[in-house]
Amino acid sequence: MQRTSFGEMACSIARTLDVIGEPWSPLILRDVWVGMSRFEQIQADLGISRKVLTERLNHLVEQGVLERRPYDRRPRHEYHLTTKGAELVDLLMIMTAWGDRWLAGEAGPPVLYRHHACGEISRAESRCAHCGEPMHAADVDPLPGPGAAAGSD
């Protein structure tokens, strides 16, 4: 069976890649998260072409991770994270922790995260939703879920 989209696969990783796997999409989400809500701000920060940025923004809106809000007189829009999009930022923070550990230069990580609750600089990590313990791949056994099919997680 030929697949035309990762979104058609019975795999949560593939479906997530269908939403944010295109180049630039995670960086666009990062920019919106840190407060760059306007097209021109995002374009200037990333150095991305208008055409590609328009395509990526449209895709992220269609996927429900960003929403457009009109501003100004001309039909201009600001972009804001939806709840679905904010949860993707949690994933990006985990990716950041990995990049900081394995890819940061000698100067160290380019961004630090201050935790609101305790005020300390910290990093994101996965924790078990039931017991709260840190959770790593070596600590779990993947089992078929109710939506499992051939080639799934």
Q: What CATH number does the domain located at 6-139 have?
A: 1.10.10.10
pLDDT tens, N- to C-terminus, the chain (153 residues): 454 678 888 888 999 999 999 989 999 999 999 999 999 999 999 999 999 999 999 999 999 999 999 998 787 899 999 999 999 999 999 999 999 999 998 999 999 999 999 999 999 999 999 999 999 899 999 998 998 875 555
Which contiguous run of DSSP H or E holds residue 13?
helix 12-20
pTM as predicted: 0.86
Q: 67 has which bridge partners? A: 80
Phi/psi at 98 (nearest 5 deg)? -65, -45
Instruction: Tell me the domain boundaries of the chain.
Output: 6-139
Neighbours of 118 (CB within 10 A): 8
